[in-house]
Each structure stands twice: as structure tokens, then as C-alpha cells.
Amino acid sequence: MSAQDDGWVLTDLGPGGLPPTEAPNPASQGIDAKSALEIVRQIHAEDLRAFEAVGSALGSIAELAEDVHEAFRRGGRLIYFGAGTSGRLGVLDASECLPTFGVGPDRVLGFIAGGERALRSPVEGAEDSADGGAEAVRAAQVGGSDVVCGIAASGTTPYVWGALREARSRGALAALVTCNPGWAKLEGASCVSRAVVLDVGPEILAGSTRMKAGTATKLVLNMLTTTAMIRWGKVHDNLMVDLTPVNRKLKRRAVGLVTRIAGVDPARAVELLRATGGDVKAAIVMGGRGVSLESARSLLASSEGRLRQALGGPLRG
């Protein structure tokens, strides 16, 4: 590596200089001389800005959630790319979708610069590789039906930008979740079709984006996948009817769902769940409408998996 590209030359700052997440926060100056109570009060006051920032971005979050919903309907995927805290949050959100909504393991994916090892410890230089992001997109075989969401609190992460550019070249919708209001001035920003901008301001510890930037990002990812899944029919009322009952807690929850929605007693709910192999929706339709498993699955297929429509006939009771 030459002296010109050894990482010490600040060539990626863009027109605005340091991103907001790297700037010193005047409100927390002298924090090292404060008591524990004063420190936690200061952190709490700053964390409230995360919620305010998300509130100001609800319109763009809803638009991206609808994009993801449409991708799911077309058989596409939501794929997150990030580094450090941002990458870990994407992997976390993706991993929760399978048990919560019963989707396949490839429907929502999370990639982090440096791979799985980076989930627990830093991998030096991984976030600085745009080629690494592009290669991860190629490895995921991203296509035109997918939504690729880059997560970059600073808005400047080369790994994320490499992924977004490659995704756009493959016809995918390229989206960005960032805490940098000036992201659109950066080189290559034209590849982004949808952006969620969270103006949280400087961190209480300059550059520590695991703080309010991370909090705001986690809130957005919660909203994004939950909204898309609700729109896709994975929820009935406010109940997770597409959960995968893989442990005792979730099996108890499944029995409760069938009992409550189908209007049967718990013993009958267990019978129905056993008959469906743990398919909660099919068990509910069987119990609620008094039909066979084959008919229940047919009703669900014709309603695109939406339980409310599948239960549209008169309930038995």
C-alpha cells in the first residue's frame, strides 16, 4: 500500500467534511468529570433525539416498507449490507424474521463486512473495501426482484457503497439507511433509489454510532420488516400467526393462537396443530371453518396467505 492510499489521507469525507456522527457533541463536553447519574441523564437526553429523528422520517420508512412488501410479493428478498454496528443490526433483524414471521431463511438476509467473525469482533479494513461489498452482492445472486438496503450511520462506508452500486447494476432497488443528512452529496449517491435519513446529530461519544445512531437504526429496521410482513399477510390483528413453533414457548403460543382465533379449546388446538405439522394458519382455518387440511390450505392459497380473508366464511361456533 502506498503512502497515498494507506488510510491516513482523508479522501472520502465529501463536501461536508466529517459526517455528523464523527463530530464532537457540545452537549457532552466534560462528561468524563460527571457522576454516574449525570452521565446516564445525559445519555438519556441524547437518546430521545433518536426517537425524534425516526419520527421525522416516517414517510420515507413507509415508502421503503411498501417497496419491500412488493418485493416479497414478487418472490424477491430484502438484503441488508453494513459494517460494524450497522452490519450487526442488519444481521439481527434478518435473523429474527424466520421465527417471528415463518419466512424462509433466504427471504431476509444480512451481510456484514468481514463476515460472521465480524459479528463478535472487528475485522480490520473490511469496511473500507468497496470490492468486498460488491462481491457479497454477487455471492448473494442479487437480482431485479430484490431490495438491497445499505446501512451506514456515517453514510460514507465503502463496503456499503460497493454493495449498493453492484445491486443497482443488477436491477435491484438500492436503499440507504443513514444518519448523515449530507449523504446525497457523496460520490455515487445517484445509485440510491430510496433513502431513510435519521438526523440524530453528533453522538455523546464522538463517533460511537452504537449509541443513538444505532438506536435509531434499530427502530427503523423493526418498522421496516414488521410493516412489510403485516402488509404481506403475516399478521392477523396484532398476532404473529405465521410464527414457526420451534420451541416450547412458541408451541404454547401457537396453541393459544389457534384457541383464540378459531374458537376451539386447547386440546382441540393441539390436535389441529399436530395435523398440520405446526402450521398455525392452516390449523386456525381448519378449526374456525370446520374444513379439511386440504381445504384450509386451498383457502389460504386463494387469499395469498391472508388469514382474515381465509376466515371470510361463517365461523363455526
Q: Which domains does the chain have, with CATH numbers?
A: 20-231 (3.40.50.10490), 248-310 (1.10.8.1080)
Instruction: Inform me whether the pLDDT recorded for 301 exceeds 70.
Output: yes
* C-beta separation of 123 from 115 below 8 A: yes
Which listed residue (96, 203, 294, 304) is catalytic? Answer: 96
pTM of the model: 0.89
pLDDT in tens, 32-42: 999 999 999 99
- The string of DSSP letters for 236-267 reads BTTB-TT----SHHHHHHHHHHHHHHHT--HH
Distance CA(305)–CA(284), nearest Å, equals: 12
- The model's confidence at residue 313, banded by pLDDT at 50, 70 and 90, is low
Set 22, 127, 166, 203: catalytic member? 127
Residue 214, amino acid: G
Query: What is the C-alpha radius of gyration for the chain, rounded to an integer number of angstroms?
Result: 23
263 or 5, higher pLDDT: 263
pLDDT above 50: residue 317: no
Which residue type does 279 have?
D
Q: Which residue would you say has higher pLDDT here, 157 or 124?
A: 157
Q: Are 150 and 113 in contact (CB under 8 A)?
A: no
127 is catalytic: yes
Catalytic, 166? Answer no
Question: What's the pLDDT band for 10 if we cut at 50, 70, 90?
Answer: low
pLDDT over 50 (residue 314): no
pLDDT at 315 over 90: no
